[in-house]
């Protein structure tokens, strides 16, 4: 009886009471006004971004720019909603999800309080400014050198023009190597830590428990375990902690996610403690972590260890997988679109000299087509299609002309907006040209991959630098094709939309 009351009668009562006046909005599914189950089911399948896009654009009664996707959650694709929800001057705050997944100390991405966020963002801003990031180029160039040395070893013998290497030629998983590069890049830029992954061809690394005992864990496995763990149950915010506890008790898969995600926390702890020890031993290091320790003129920030550890966690997390995913999707897009690849090659051959192996950033930073390829690929396959929920203030707010009651979750679904025919015309077509010229500049306001406004991605300059150097160096040096021409990548949405693998044959041009 209690279960019936909690699971059925109360939601029905709330639905008809309609204290938030949300019944007037169209539903994503017939049950969306009553329960989160539709939403949870889509999250469980790892296809929520896709389902949401379908509901917004292919609704039986025509496109729906606003949809109720759960009893207390509304999704908007209207461009005005991007401004209202994320833009500078927004009255929205980060939603309840961020409270549920935070640790003992908040980091820049999960802090909700506005003034706390401003304080943290100010501290980090200098480290992430473009002028500062470009000074790190030599660090990335070294990593890219290691990456290319490994690629050279994995090359097939160059086949005749127009043909493919034979099946017995070596195969490389671009996804695996791309993330080894981004993991190494961010730990070097962020913490002056040389993980040596590219040279080893492996991401096994040291993790450290709170009591100081050490063990070995795999970086990617650990990071992705955490993303899986949070994804499905978070749709029930009021029961999240209890559900996680029960799921860990009853479901072996969940216990496994939990164990893996603990591995990531312990990797971050090891890197943070090591970096602090090096500072205490008098080493003069210049990296992103320096900005957390003191200001440019040497004023200490006096962050407690818990806060330094939390910030390290977000830098190592946000700074590695998303760029690896973006790079993998870009190579796949270019394989699927040989015309775009040919134009990009022409641009790079002109910009780079025959002796350039690692592409110098100075020579490629004005390559407009290179940038257009990256943006077009991230438009179609945003690394983070998770819709970054926000919460209306207690007094409510107007979003794209709809009055939404206080404490309601609101969302701008990235994939649905990136695939909106009324914005892009031909959203299913990979067409980098759309980003060129004045028209391309105007499209940036619909490009949500890093979101916008005060909570937009602080690492955007870092990822572009990494992506420019990696894509230009790879495309300039190698020809590539899918190992199996019929291969399509498997994508699974967690906090990021993970891509499983991308097996390629590559050979020197």
Positions 31 through 90 that interact with ligand HEM (CB under 6 A): none
Structure tokens at 342: 């040919």
CB of 121 to ligand HEM, least distance (A): 5
CB nearer to ligand HEM: give 343 or 457: 457
Write the CB contacts of 101 (distance below 8 Å, at least 6 apart in sequence): 110, 230, 234
CB nearer to ligand HEM: give 108 or 230: 108
CB of 459 to ligand HEM, least distance (A): 2
- Burial of residue 121 (CB within 10 Å: 0-12, 13-18, 19+) is middle
Cα–Cα dist 112/98, whole Å: 7
CB of 464 to ligand HEM, least distance (A): 8
Positions 419 through 478 that interact with ligand HEM (CB under 6 A): 449-451, 455, 457-459, 462-463
Rule CB under 6 A: say whether 410 interacts with ligand HEM: no
How remote is the C-alpha of 503 from its chain's centroid? 22
CB of 330 to ligand HEM, least distance (A): 10
CB nearer to ligand HEM: give 56 or 455: 455
Count of residues near ligand HEM by CB under 6 A: 23
CB nearer to ligand HEM: give 41 or 303: 303
- Burial of residue 429 (CB within 10 Å: 0-12, 13-18, 19+) is exposed
CB of 484 to ligand HEM, least distance (A): 27
List the one residue from 34, 81, 186, 331 that touches ligand HEM (CB under 6 A).
186
CB nearer to ligand HEM: give 108 or 352: 108
CB of 451 to ligand HEM, least distance (A): 5
Rule CB under 6 A: say whether 92 interacts with ligand HEM: no
Write the CB contacts of 165 (distance below 8 Å, at least 6 apart in sequence): 156, 157, 159, 481, 505, 507
Rule CB under 6 A: say whether 183 interacts with ligand HEM: no
CB of 19 to ligand HEM, least distance (A): 27
Helices (H), 281-413: 288-293, 305-318, 321-336, 338-351, 361-364, 368-380
Tell me if 457 is assigned to a ligand binding site: yes
Structure tokens at 31: 């049950």
Q: Are 398 and 338 in contact (CB under 8 A)?
A: no
CB of 435 to ligand HEM, least distance (A): 16
CB nearer to ligand HEM: give 236 or 450: 450
List the one residue from 109, 292, 410, 482 that touches ligand HEM (CB under 6 A).
109
CB nearer to ligand HEM: give 148 or 470: 470
DSSP 157-168: PPPPTT----TT
Greatest pairwise CA separation for the chain in angstroms = 76
Q: In angstroms, how far is the first alpha carbon of the chain from the final one?
A: 70
List the one residue from 383, 427, 432, 440 that touches ligand HEM (CB under 6 A).
383
Three-state secondary structure of 236-295:
CHHHHHHHHHHHHHHCHHHHHHHHHHHHHHHHHHHHHHHHHHHHHCCCCCCCHHHHHHEC
CB nearer to ligand HEM: give 233 or 316: 316
In the shown chain, the binding pattern of residues 269 to 308 toward ligand HEM, with x for contact by CB under 6 A and - for none, equals ----------------------------------------
Handedness of CA 398, 400, 402, 405 (dihedral sign): negative
CB of 160 to ligand HEM, least distance (A): 37
Of residues 359, 375, 261, 277, the one with CA closest to residue 316: 261
In the shown chain, the binding pattern of residues 305 to 344 toward ligand HEM, with x for contact by CB under 6 A and - for none, equals ---------xx--xx--xx--x------------------
List the one residue from 75, 77, 384, 473 that touches ligand HEM (CB under 6 A).
384
CB nearer to ligand HEM: give 432 or 459: 459
Handedness of CA 305, 134, 264, 100 (dihedral sign): positive
Number of residues assigned to the chain: 509
Cα–Cα dist 40/457, whole Å: 26
Positions 189 through 248 that interact with ligand HEM (CB under 6 A): none
CB of 48 to ligand HEM, least distance (A): 15
CB nearer to ligand HEM: give 34 or 397: 397
Of residues 380, 390, 464, the one with CA closest to residue 414: 380
Question: Residue 480 belongs to what H/E stretch?
Answer: strand 478-482
Of residues 508, 477, 466, 472, the one with CA closest to residue 355: 477
Structure tokens at 118: 């401003």
Which residue number places its CB atom closest to ligand HEM? 459
CB nearer to ligand HEM: give 388 or 397: 388
- Burial of residue 460 (CB within 10 Å: 0-12, 13-18, 19+) is middle
CB of 203 to ligand HEM, least distance (A): 17
Annotated binding site: 457
Q: Which residues bind ligand HEM (CB under 6 A)?
A: 108-109, 121, 186, 314-315, 318-319, 322-323, 326, 383-384, 388, 449-451, 455, 457-459, 462-463
Which amino acids are annotated as binding site for heme, given as ranges?
A: 457
């Amino acid at each position: 009886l209690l279960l019936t009351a909690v699971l059925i009668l109360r939601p029905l009562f709330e639905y008809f009471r309609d204290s938030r006046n949300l019944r007037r909005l169209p539903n994503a599914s017939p049950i969306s006004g009553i329960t989160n189950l539709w939403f949870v089911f889509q999250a469980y399948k790892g296809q929520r971004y896709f389902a949401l896009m379908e509901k917004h654009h292919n609704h039986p009664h025509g496109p729906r720019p606003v949809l109720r996707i759960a009893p207390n959650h509304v999704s908007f694709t209207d461009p005005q909603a991007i401004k209202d929800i994320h833009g500078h001057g927004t009255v929205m705050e980060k939603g309840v999800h961020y409270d549920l997944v935070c640790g003992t100390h908040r980091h820049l991405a999960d802090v909700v309080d506005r003034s706390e966020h401003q304080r943290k963002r100010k501290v980090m801003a200098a480290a992430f400014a473009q002028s500062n990031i470009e000074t790190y180029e030599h660090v990335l160039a070294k990593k890219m050198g290691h990456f290319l040395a490994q690629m050279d070893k994995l090359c097939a013998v160059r086949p005749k023009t127009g043909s493919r290497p034979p099946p017995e030629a070596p195969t490389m998983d671009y996804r695996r190597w791309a993330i080894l590069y981004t993991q190494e890049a961010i730990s070097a830029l962020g913490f002056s830590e040389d993980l040596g992954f590219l040279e080893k061809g492996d991401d096994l690394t040291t993790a450290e428990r709170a009591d100081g005992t050490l063990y070995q864990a795999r970086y990617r496995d650990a990071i992705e375990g955490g993303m899986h763990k949070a994804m499905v149950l978070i749709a029930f915010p009021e029961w999240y902690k209890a559900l996680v506890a029960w799921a860990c008790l009853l479901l072996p898969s969940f216990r496994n996610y939990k164990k893996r995600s603990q591995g990531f926390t312990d990797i971050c702890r090891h890197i943070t403690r090591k970096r602090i020890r090096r500072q205490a031993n008098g080493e003069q290091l210049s990296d992103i972590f320096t900005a957390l320790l003191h200001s440019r003129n040497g004023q200490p920030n006096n962050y407690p260890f818990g806060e330094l550890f939390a910030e390290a966690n977000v830098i190592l997390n946000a700074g590695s997988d998303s760029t690896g995913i973006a790079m993998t999707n870009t190579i796949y897009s270019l394989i699927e679109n040989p015309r775009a690849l040919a134009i990009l090659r022409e641009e790079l051959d002109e910009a780079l000299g025959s002796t350039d192996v690692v592409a110098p950033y100075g020579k490629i930073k004005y390559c407009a087509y290179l940038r257009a390829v990256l943006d077009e690929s991230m438009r179609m396959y945003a690394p983070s299609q998770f819709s970054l929920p926000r919460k209306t203030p207690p007094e409510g707010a107007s979003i794209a002309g709809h009055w939404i009651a206080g404490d309601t979750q609101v969302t701008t679904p990235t994939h649905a907006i990136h695939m909106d025919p009324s914005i892009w015309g031909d959203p299913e077509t990979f067409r980098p040209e759309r980003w060129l010229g004045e028209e391309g500049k105007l499209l940036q306001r619909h490009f949500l991959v890093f979101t916008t406004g005060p909570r937009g991605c602080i690492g955007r300059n870092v990822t572009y630098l990494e992506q420019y150097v990696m894509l230009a160096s790879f495309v300039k040096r190698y020809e590539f094709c899918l190992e199996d021409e019929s291969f399509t990548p498997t994508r699974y949405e967690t906090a990021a939309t993970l891509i499983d693998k991308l097996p390629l044959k590559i050979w020197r041009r």
